[in-house]
Amino acid sequence: MAESAGERATAVASALAADGVDLIRVLFPDLLGIPRGKEIPVRLLPEVAERGLSFCRGVYYTSARGENIAAPTALAAGLPDVVARPILDTVTRLPWADGLAWCVAEVSEPGGSPAVEDPRAALRRVLEHFSAEGLSPVVGPELEFFLLEEADGAFRRYGHGLGNVYTTGLKGDPRGLLPHFLRGLTGMGLDIVGGNHEFGSGQFEINLGHTGALAASDACFGFKLGVRELAATQGLHATFMGKPFNDDGGSGFHLHLSITDGAGANLFDDPDGPHGLSELALSAVAGILAHAPALTALLAPTINAYRRLQPDTLAPFLVDWGLDNRCALVRIPPERGGGARLEVRLGDAAANPYLGAAAVLAAAYLGISEKLRPGDPLIGYGYDPAKAGTLPGDLGAAVDALVADTALTELLGPGLVEAFAAVKRFEVAEFARYVTDWEFREYAYHL
């Protein structure tokens, strides 16, 4: 007889209690990727695994600053409940917090069907299409972030200093915090494969291992949680905002993607194919390029993200691909064989990792199923609009492109796309009414 969720949860709770854990955080991502949830006593885990935890559906329709956003399924419907159930395979300790563990939850309707707004369920829907074809996407995420110190009510960059890209040690990290992050994140059970100081002052990149797309997205969700909390233990704030400073580069969320068969063989490699790539790989590239305008909304999901997607930034500006070319939207790293893969460089570090992965995989699937082929790869400089079309220039245009992309929307889920668009159009409208510092500085004295 199959083990019930309650029975499995009882075993997990017993193991946690034996390890000195008495509380567990049950967390799920909202549409912005912000962790939402509750802390519960470990003794209640079996009960919660069976019945779930109820939350107001309006949590999906709340801005980053807490404003309520009108939506037919939320405020207009009387703010009904959704139910979050812990995914027991994701339960791990938080090594910096005594007696505390955490886990990812998936969110459903009270009747049990997946909530249309749940980003993790959207990724699972996309993965079902690959599974039906005997294909298994493998994802390797790279995330950048800034560490900030609070001073006089404002944030300043930790370890301020130029030219520390690809360095480790005290030069760009005067308090030696990178090992603190690497050890803490590894203690969470994350597959950390390396880290270094990045281009910006106080900016770091930490890489996660390549694994199945769902596990990789769970790892990203936990990674961002862990980085913020580990920073807080040191009196610092970590931000994944795409471009927090005018005079520094932005923070990216790069996704490395390959596809394996049932035996684990890399299907992107073909020594006899163009550039050593298989038809499957080239079709995946073509699908990502074909749906790039819509992908931009989910991978660059803030007003701020479009400050990063500019010429000469090492972030993409055009809809193009290239062989080991970091100017391109899709870069093909030089490894072949088991290491053959593509790297999507469009992502902003603020992106919801589940929605980012779901969008990229949906576009790749459409390219594969339609047997699309990309044009010639980019050679050299990647910011000449004569060579390729440009990406949407702002969040509003990107959201319009997402809504108009019916094929991608069908794979992701029309309800999810509708919810995401409502939240983001609220953001665009709010920004349109806001007087920025630049406007005041530019006009107030002279006009």
Calculate the alpha carbon distances from 58 to 232, 403, 406, 436 in Å. 28, 22, 26, 29
pLDDT at 386: 87
H helices then E strands: how many in the chain?
A: 13, 16
Angle at 146 between CA 438 and CA 331, to 5 degrees: 95
Q: Torsion over CA of 128, 210, 108 and 395, rounded to 10 degrees? A: -100
**Which residues make beta-bridge pairs with 196?**
205
Other beta carbons within 10 angstroms of residue 253's beta carbon come to 27
Read off the pLDDT of residues 74-90 as tens digits, 9 standing for 90 and up.
Answer: 666 667 899 999 999 99
Read off the pLDDT of residues 138-185 as tens digits, 9 standing for 90 and up.
Answer: 999 999 999 999 988 889 999 988 889 999 999 999 999 999 999 999
Give me the mean pLDDT over the 219-233 stretch.
Answer: 97
Mean of pLDDT over the chain: 94
pLDDT at 2: 59
pLDDT at 75: 67
368 pLDDT more than 90: yes
Read off the pLDDT of residues 264-290 as tens digits, 9 standing for 90 and up.
Answer: 999 999 999 999 999 999 999 999 999
Nearest to 174 by CA among 205, 143, 147, 145: 147
108 pLDDT more than 90: yes
The answer to whether the CB of 308 falls within 8 A of the CB of 349 is: no
The answer to whether the CB of 284 falls within 8 A of the CB of 364 is: yes
pLDDT at 70: 81
In order of their start, the domains of the chain are 5-115 (3.10.20.70), 125-412 (3.30.590.10)
pLDDT at 76: 66
pLDDT at 401: 98
Read off the pLDDT of residues 284-337 as tens digits, 9 standing for 90 and up.
Answer: 999 999 999 999 999 999 999 999 999 988 899 999 999 999 999 999 999 999
Calculate the alpha carbon distances from 371 to 156, 266, 290 in Å. 49, 18, 12
- Distance, in Å, from the CA atom of 128 to the CA atom of 134, rounded to the nearest integer, reads 10
Bridge-based pairing of strands 136-151 and 100-108 is: unpaired
39 pLDDT more than 90: yes
Q: How confident is the model at residue 211 (pLDDT cuts 50, 70, 90)?
A: very high
Bridge-based pairing of strands 237-239 and 35-41 is: unpaired
Cβ within 8 Å of residue 84, ≥6 positions away = 26, 28, 37, 52, 53, 54, 55, 105, 106, 107, 108
Bridge-based pairing of strands 100-108 and 23-29 is: parallel
Q: Which of 44-58, 375-389, 393-407 has the lowest mean pLDDT?
A: 375-389
**Which residues make beta-bridge pairs with 314?**
none
Structure tokens at 68: 């309520």
374 pLDDT more than 60: yes
End-to-end CA distance of the chain: 78
- Distance, in Å, from the CA atom of 126 to the CA atom of 359, rounded to the nearest integer, reads 8
pLDDT at 67: 86
Residue 359 three-state SS: helix
Residue 29 three-state SS: strand
Longest dimension (CA), the chain: 79
Structure tokens at 74: 């939320």
Nearest to 70 by CA among 398, 433, 430, 402: 430
1 pLDDT more than 90: no
Instruction: Tell me how far the alpha carbon of residue 255 is from its chain's centroid.
Output: 9
181 sits in which H/E element: helix 178-187
- Helix, strand, coil percentages in the chain from 3-state DSSP, rounded to 5: 40, 20, 40
26 sits in which H/E element: strand 23-29
Cβ within 8 Å of residue 331, ≥6 positions away = 321, 322, 323, 324, 325, 342, 343, 345
